Structure 1
Amino acid sequence: MATTDISEAAKAVIRRNTEEVQGGGDYALYDALFSDDFIDHTPQPGRTPDKAGALELYQTLRAAFPDFHAVIHWQAADGNLITTYKTYHGTHKGEFFGISPTGRVIQFETVDAMRVVDGKITEHWGVANLFSLMEQLGARPGTP
C-alpha cells in the first residue's frame, strides 16, 4: 500500500473516532478502533495513559456535555501519524472536573496527533485549550 493510501486510511479512522465515538457515543466502535496496547502520551489529569483511561475521558466528556461533538478544521498526515485540528462544542449539563452543570454552551480547540497501525489507533499526543473551557464554565476566579 502506498504512503498516500496509508495516510488516507489513517485519517478516516481518526475521523470515525471524532465523529462516531466522541460525537456519537459509539463505545462499541471505540473498542474496535483502539488497539488494546494503546498509549496516551499526554493523558488528562486523573486518567491512566491506556485504552481504559482514554475511554473514561470520552465517557466523562459525554456525561458532562451530552451534545459533545467536534468540527474538524484540518488533518495532516506523516505516513500513519495523523494530526487533527478541531473545535469541540457542547452544552454543560453534567458535572465536569467538580463543576456542577451550568447549562452554558462551550467550545474549545484541540490539536491531536494519533498513530494508526493496521486500522487501529495505537498512540496519542494532544493539546487542548482547557484554560478556555474552564473560563467558559466560570471556573476561573474573576470570570462571570
Structure 2
Amino acid sequence: MGLERAKIVALYARYLDRCNEHRFDQLGDFVCEQVSGSGATDGLAGYIDRLETVHTAFPDYRWELQDLVVEQDMIAARLIGQGTHTGPFDGMAPTGRRISTQELVIYRFADGKIVQCWGDFFPVVRDAMMAAADAER
C-alpha cells in the first residue's frame, strides 16, 4: 500500500535535511538496505558512499527543493544545489570554485523508504565545474 502524499512530502523533507546536515549515518531511516538506481553501486552503503563523496569534495554543498511531484509511490524532485569545490571529485583536483547545479531526481518508495533512486548528479556537477572553469577564462 502506498504512502499518502503528505507523508511522502514530509518524509522527503526530513531526508533532504539529513543530506544537507551530512548526517548520512541516519539515512537508513529513509532509504532501504537494497536501494537501487542510477549509481554504479547499489545498496544503502553504496548510496551513502556517493553522498560522502559529494561531501568530501564540496563540504558546504546544500540541496534546495524547487519542485516536488508526487504520483502514488513515486516522486520527482527538482533541486538546486550549491557548494565550493575544496576536495577531490571524480578525478578532479580541488579548484576552490563555487558551483550551482540544477538536478532532477526520481524516487520510488515502498514501506515508507526509498527503494529506487534515479538521478544525474555526477554528470551535472561535472558540467557545472566545466562551466565555472570556462567562465574564468
Unmatched segments (≥5 aa) in structure 1:
none
Kindly provide the CA deviation profile for residues 109-143 of structure 1, in whole angstroms up to 9, marking residues without a partner as x.
110111122221111112342453231453x8x97
Whichever residue aligns with residue 87 of structure 1, its letter is I
Match in the other structure for 1:6:
4
CA contact (8 A) 1:14 1:114 kept: no
Whichever residue aligns with residue 114 of structure 1, its letter is Y
Identity %: 23
CA contact (8 A) 2:99 2:129 kept: no
Whichever residue aligns with residue 17 of structure 2, its letter is E
Q: Distance in 1 between matches of 2:16 and 2:22?
A: 10
> Could you say what secondary structure the match of 2:4 adopts?
helix
Q: Does 1:30 align with 2:27?
A: yes
Whichever residue aligns with residue 6 of structure 1, its letter is E
Normalised to the residue count of structure 2, the TM-score between the two structures is 0.86
Q: Distance in 1 between matches of 2:103 and 2:15?
A: 14
Q: Distance in 2 between matches of 1:137 and 1:52?
A: 31
Kindly provide the CA deviation profile for residues 64-98 of structure 1, in whole angstroms up to 9, marking residues without a partner as x.
00011011101000012011001111011111111
CA contact (8 A) 2:63 2:79 kept: yes
Match in the other structure for 1:84:
77
> Could you say what secondary structure the match of 1:107 adopts?
strand
Deviates more, 1:60-69 or 1:128-137: 128-137
CA RMSD of aligned residues (A): 2.2
Q: Does 1:133 align with 2:131?
A: no
The count of residues paired between Structure 1 and Structure 2 equals 135
Normalised to the residue count of structure 1, the TM-score between the two structures is 0.82
How has the CA–CA distance of structure 1 residues 14 and 62 changed in structure 2, closer, same or farther, with 3 Å as cutoff? same
Unmatched segments (≥5 aa) in structure 2:
none
Q: Distance in 2 between matches of 1:13 and 1:135?
A: 34
Partner of residue 62 from structure 1, selected from 50, 55, 58 = 55
Match in the other structure for 1:99:
92
